[in-house]
Amino acid sequence: GESVGLHLPTLSVQEGDNSIINCAYSNSASDYFIWYKQESGKGPQFIIDIRSNMDKRQGQRVTVLLNKTVKHLSLQIAATQPGDSAVYFCAENTGFQKLVFGTGTRLLVSP
């Protein structure tokens, strides 16, 4: 599949920097959130998820933060690598079989 959009917000970082990608969600009743990574020509790949009863979850080099007060989700990538270059988008579960996807942020990592 193609990368999402021609005019995506873009975050440019240097290799080794920490990256923070933000997502505002719409439904205060959403109970589950996911971050996906999509490389050019590929399908979305699961990175990390978080349920609404948590405010932080850590994976390998990634951390997701959930702020329900302002309906904000962020993905932090530590020690960003060139292989992290991709489009990242969040998704919120708004109900039974109702996963709503954001449009994405393009992350560009320079060596």
CB of 8 to another protein, least distance (A): 8
**Least distance in angstroms from the C-beta of 39 to another protein:** 10
Residue pair 84/109 in contact (Cβ under 8 Å)? The answer is yes
Residue 68 has a CB neighbour count (10 Å cut-off) of 13
Task: Return the structure tokens found at 38.
Answer: 């999509």
> Nearer Cβ to another protein, position 81 or 101?
101
- The count of other CB atoms within 10 Å of the CB of residue 95 is 11
Residues that bind another protein (CB under 8 A): 1-2, 4-7, 31-32, 34, 41-46, 49, 89, 91, 93, 96-104
